[in-house]
Amino acid sequence: MSLIDLSIEQRGYAPASIALAVRTIGACPAAGHRPDSRILCGIGLLSVTPEVGGGYIFATNARGLGEGESPLSLLDWLQPRIPAATGIISWNNWGSVPRRLLALADPLRHPNIISAAADTSARWRDMPRGHTWHMRQARAMLMPCVCPLGTRVDECDAVMPTALLPDPATTSSELIGEAIAGWQCWARSFGDFDDANHPAQAALRALDRWRTGQRTAR
C-alpha cells in the first residue's frame, strides 16, 4: 500500500458519510495465511448526515466481540449499517480495513459490505498511514496459540477464548473515538487553510458543537 493516496482528496468531500474504525488482535502464528490472522474483535462507526437547512446529524455506534461470537458476528452487525451510496472513511489497522472486511465477508450475508469494500477507487476512502501517521489506536493483547501440539498450519482454527479478548464495552468506547478521529482527519483535508466556508469545515465545526453537547448531557 502507498503511504499517500492522492486520489482521496481528488475525489472530493462527501457530505453524507460514515467513518469506520476496527480493532484487531494478533492470532496464532499458524493462522498467518488466513484473513483473520489478526482477529477482528471490534467495529466503531460515526454517521454524518447533512440536513436540508445546512446543519448535520451525527450518530455513533460500536460493537465488540462477545462470548460465543466470531468475527462474522461483527460483520452481521455492520451489514445493515452500510448505506447504499454514502461515502465511507477508514484508516489503516495493521493493513487495509476494506481489504480485511472483503476477505472475511460472506457474499450471501454481507452484500453491502462487499460492494462498498470493493470500491476503494471511488466510494470508500481508505486512508493509508501517510495520512494518519500522527494518530494512535488503542492497543490490544496478542491472542496466544491454543492449538494442540503438532496441529497443521492449514488446520489452525484461530481459537479465541473470550477471557482473552478485549472487554467489549471498553473496545466500543475506544472505537467510537477512533472513528471520529478518522473522519476528522479526512474532512480536514478540504478547505483547511484557505476556505473556512467549505462544507467540510462547517461539518467539522458542527461536530465539535455536537460533541460538546454530548459531554454536557452526561
Three-state DSSP class for 182? helix
> Is pLDDT at 119 greater than 80 in this prediction?
yes
Quick one: CA torsion of 198, 15, 56, 114, rounded to 10 degrees? -150
Distance (Å, whole) CA 64 – CA 69: 10
> Is pLDDT at 161 greater than 70 in this prediction?
no
186 compared with 25, residue with greater pLDDT: 186
Distance (Å, whole) CA 93 – CA 155: 26
> Is pLDDT at 215 greater than 70 in this prediction?
yes
> Is pLDDT at 1 greater than 60 in this prediction?
no
> Is pLDDT at 175 greater than 90 in this prediction?
yes
pLDDT of residue 143: 72
Three-state DSSP class for 147? coil
pLDDT of residue 163: 66
Q: Which of 61, 46, 53 is nearest to 187 (CA)?
A: 46
Longest CA–CA separation in the chain, Å = 64
